[in-house]
Structure formats: structure tokens, C-alpha cells
Structure 1
Amino acid sequence: MTWTFTDDVDVFLDNAGPSLAARPAESTVVLTVTAALRRHGPHAYGDRAPVMGWWRGADGEVAGTLLHTPPYPATLNALSPEAVGPLMDARRLTHVNADRATARAVTAHWPGHRVDGEQRLYRLGELVPPSPAPGGRARAAAPADRELLLRWYAAFAVDIGGPGGHAERHGRAVDERTAEGRLTLWEDDGVPVSMAGISPQLAGTARVAPVYTPPEHGGRGYAAAVTAEVSRAARAAGADEVLLFTDLANPTSNGVYTRIGYRAVSDRLVVSAEGASDG
């Protein structure tokens, strides 16, 4: 039983890829982040190189993964209980995104900790279009929308409390998603009022993100409508599963998504060791 670490995404996927693909909903973030690392190189998410790792259990099978792209938290997936202690001995982790049980096991190795966020993963069941439907219609984002979309991406990053310095990555995401038809706007009376993006399909899954409505347009059903549209389109394009994450501290967004057919799969915690920074 041992951990193996690498900064080479191809080596990581050669070893852990089958395990991730076997649990695509739980592995959605790891699948999309590693796809971006393959496409854009090791500094796709920051100046520091990523660290990836996998744990092999007594039977030799992969039974858990680590993905760390500083300055973001280390994402831990499907860890068997016996993998946590050796991981904490091998890596100085102080900021982790993990399922509740794994997060509790990690924080037992710290003298103190704080919970920075609680997230819920949802899977689309039967899609239920919003009723009553808001005014307006969906349309694909176009290059002419770029400046608006960059402002909205920046505002969304502030809303979710992510690390700063996103401008280059936002521009890349907006340009790629616009060119590939993966960014949708909801317009009312010709004015863009909400947006939703969708990830590339990986292992039969697609994930809705980001979803953003400026405060001045909130409360009118636009987010539900644009999310329903990108979800419908993902299914029509062949996705076996359509997923999204919500912040459990936001009851409004959780209510929006359940009303249009999303059902809870699992919860994750983002936890930090008090008084420490990632190393």
C-alpha cells in the first residue's frame, strides 16, 4: 500500500485514469482539471506546478487520488481510510477539498482547523423547465460579448471566494467556451441578464459551471432558465450525466436547481489548517 506522486498529468492519468472514469460523477473536478492541464500545460492554474498522486491498496488497485493545483485546495477523491495517514505524512497539506469523511480524517492530523465552505454535488434527474418561465430567451455567447463575460467571470470569482489573479484564465475560459459553444446567455428584451457554462464531456459527464446573474437581475428566474437550457443541451449532445456543484450556504441556488430536476449526490468540505498556508 503506497502513495505515488507526479507532476506529469499523463503519468497520473495512465495510472489513475481508469479509477476516475469508473466514478465519473465523483471525479468530475479531477477529470476537468486534468483535461485543462493536458490542453494548456502545467501552469494552467497558477505559477506553481501541480502535484498529482494515487494510492494503491493491498490489492494493487488505485483506491484514491490527490490533485493539487496551487493556490487552489488539494482535491482528494475516493480515499480509502487507511490512505489518509500516509498522505499526511508524505505531503504538507493545509487546504483540502474532500468528502465529509475524508475531510474529518484530514483535520484530525491538524492542531486546529476551519471550514471554508460546504459544497453539494447534484446530478440531473428529469429536467423540469422553470414554471412560470421568465421573459427572454437563451442564445450562445459570441465574441462581441467578451468584455461583458469577463466582468461576469470576475464577479462570479468574487462571489465564490476564489483566489485572485484570474484575469488570464478568465480570458482563456471565455474565449474557449465561446468558440466551442459552451457558454450560454439568457437575454430579456435584448439585454443579457444571466449566463451559464458547461464543461467538456469527459467519461460521459458534463458539469454546469459557472452560473452567474448580476444582482440587479436576480430573483426573476433567469438563472434557472439558463441552467435548464445548458442542461438540456448537454443531454442532447450525449452526456450520460449532467452535474453541478452548489454552495450549501446559499439556499436560493440549491432551491433553484432542485426545482428544475437536480438531485443531491454527495457533499464536500473545504477545510484549512488554522494559521498555515499550503506547501
Structure 2
Amino acid sequence: MSIVPRTGLRLRFLSDPGEFLAVAGDHLGADPVVSTVVTTIAHRQLSQQAEGIPQPDRDWWLVISDDSGAVVGAGMRSAPYAPYPPFLLPMPDEAAVALAHALHERGEEVLAVNGALPAVDLCAAALAQRGGGEVRVNRHTRLHQLGELTPPPPAPGSLVTATVDDARLATEWLAAFMGDADEQAGRPRGASAHEAPDHAEVLRRIHAGRLWFWLDETGEPVHLTGANPPSFGVARLGPVYTPPAQRGRGWASNAVAEVSRRIQAEGTQVCLFTDQANPTSNKIYAALGFRPVVDMANLVIVR
């Protein structure tokens, strides 16, 4: 489905991630770090399609073109958790507003918007104006890219790749991750409306070799770091989780540094998100050599 607002921009909604990547691939690949969330999920859904896993009918992929046909923005609605917020990459201001009007005309209920600023601000404000409600910030995040890795002070132990035998522990820790992150940022547990990966998703990550534990000197797991498979030459780290009793001992810094070193050795760029309300994690990543790329936000519309 295509919509041409009065701005001259063309908004094209696609149901197939493969078609989306074919149409917007050059645009996404021109800034693969900023595009990491969208490209990672598009490639993941392609893999799931090949396995016969159906995608929800509500999902869509968005390509925004100017009057010359050049792609100037992109986004998606593929979140597996309510209220299924769209995720927007950088786009012209008028495109973000036009998207809000298009969603209203399509009859889609949108009660949250995630992604790059200022697009999400403009889109959420226009949605609230059309449908009523007040825009509130759920979380401010910042995307960082690793330049030259600065090794941290060494900590006892070593990094190991998670195996199927670790699936139960990994599932428990990933379930605790978002709640603990909310508390560390001064929010109530559960304020960030993200659904923890289920056991099947954890097994998928393990089979892909994208989960690692840091083991202390006794061989006990004390930290978990994950990463997405590379997309357009970029791998995004996350989650990064240390149980409360093990924090402050350097496990996270050493695990993230070693995972990052291995990924960079493959010729892949490394990036990750931080919560701007969590000064501890921001300080750790800055010390390792991560530098800010773009600010993003998770916004909700309260009616």
C-alpha cells in the first residue's frame, strides 16, 4: 500500500521483509549502525519465514521516498509485545508527521512509538493530536558504536559460549534483565514494555552462538552478554546482564570487551544501546571505546 501525502513524499507499507530489504537496502546499508534494529529484525523474520514460522498480520515495513524516488526514511511495526509500537529510523520531519496521519487513516491504533529522534517526537505528537491523548517518555536511549577497543582492567575468569545446557539459566537471567534495568534507571520494575525472550528464542540464540557467559575463577557463571547476528556488517550487543549479587566486580566490562574483540576480529562493526538514565552502564561503555551515534526514545501515548 502506498500513500502520497501533500508533501510529495511517498509512504509505502510492505508486508514482506524481503521486499522491504530489496527496496530500501541501499538506504539502510549507507548507515548500517543507525539502521541496526530494523535490518536485524528484517533478516531475522526472513530466517523465520524460511523455517515456516508465520509473521503476525499486523506487521509492516515502511519505505519513504521523495519526489525523485530516492529513499529518505524507513521504519517498521514488528514488535512482538503490546502495544506493538512502530520503530522509526531517521526521516524528514514532514515524513514523520505524514506517517502519523497515514496510520490514523489506516485505522491503526498506535499507543507508543520507538526509534530515532526527532522523528518519534513528531510522529507521536501528531498521533496524539489526531487521536487524542498525551505523549510521555517511557525511556530515552542512545545508540553507541565501538571504535578502537580499550581493554578494561582484567577480572578473574573467562568468557565461554553458552550451550543448550545453559538455556534455563539464560532464560531466567534474560527475564530478569529488563526489570533490573528499570530499577537501575530509577523506574518501577516493568515500566519498559519489553517482552523477555521465551525459552525457544533463547535456544535460537544459543544455536546461533550469540550468547556468552563470563565464568568466575571457580567456573560459576556470573554474567551474560548477548549479540545479534551481523546485518549489513554490524552486530548489536545486548542484553548485557549481571545478577545484582555479582555487580561491581568487572565481569560486564570484561565480557563485553571480549565479545566485542571477537566480533571485530571477524571484520564486523559493534554497536549497542544504553539507557540514558543509567549512568553506570554509560560510563562502562565509554571507557571501553563506545561513542554516541544517535539518540532514540520510547514514547507512549496516554489517553
Q: TM-score w.r.t. structure 2 length?
A: 0.83
* Alignment correspondent of 1:137: 158
Deviation at 1:85?
A: 2.3
Within a 5 Å distance, the mapping from 1:1-279 to structure 2 comes to 1-41=9-49, 49-70=58-79, 71=82, 72-92=84-104, 93-109=110-126, 110-111=128-129, 112-131=134-153, 133-160=154-181, 161=190, 162-163=192-193, 166=196, 169-188=197-216, 189-239=218-268, 241-275=269-303
Aligned residues: 271
Q: Could you list the per-position Cα deviations for residues 113-141 of structure 1 after superposition, in whole angstroms to 9, with x for gaps in the alignment? A: 1000000111101111111x222111111
Q: CA offsets per residue over residues 127-167 of structure 1, 9 Å max, x none?
A: 11111x2221111111111111110111113335454664x
2:86–2:114 contact (8 Å) kept in structure 1: yes
Q: How far is 1:80 from its partner?
A: 1.2
Given that 1:36 and 1:44 are in contact with CA atoms closer than 8 Å, whether structure 2 keeps it comes out as no
Which range moved further: 189-198 or 103-112? 103-112
> How much has 1:176 moved relative to structure 2?
2.4
* Superposition TM-score, scaled by structure 1 size: 0.90
- Amino acid aligned to 2:206: T
Kept in 2: contact 1:182–1:197 (CA 8 A)? yes
| Helix, strand or coil at the partner of 2:121 | helix
How many angstroms does 1:100 deviate by?
2.2
C-alpha change, 1:122 and 1:59, in structure 2 (3 Å) is same
Cα drift, residue 82 of structure 1:
2.0
Matched to 2:35, the amino acid is: S
Q: Which has the higher contact order (CA 8 A, sep 6+)?
A: 1
Q: Is the alpha carbon distance of 1:47 and 1:155 closer, same or farther for their aligned partners in structure 2, counting shifts above 3 Å? A: farther
Helix, strand or coil at the partner of 2:73: strand
Mean Cα deviation higher: 72-81 or 30-39: 72-81
Q: Which runs of 5+ in 2 are unaligned?
A: 1-8, 105-109, 182-189
- Contiguous gaps of at least 5 residues in structure 1: none
Which whole-Å deviations, capped at 9, do the CAs of 1:44-87 have from their partners, x for residues lacking one?
79855311111111221111112111434211112112212221
Q: Is the 8 A contact 1:48 1:69 kept in 2?
A: no
Quick one: distance in 2 between partners of 1:126 and 1:223? 18
State how far apart, in whole Å, the 1-side matches of 2:290 and 2:75 are: 27
The amino acid that maps onto 1:134 is: A
Percent of residue pairs identical: 35
Q: Secondary structure at the match of 1:233?
A: helix
RMSD: 2.1
Q: Distance in 1 between matches of 2:203 and 2:116?
A: 32
Shift of 1:180: 2.6
Report the residue type matching 2:33 in the other structure. Answer: A
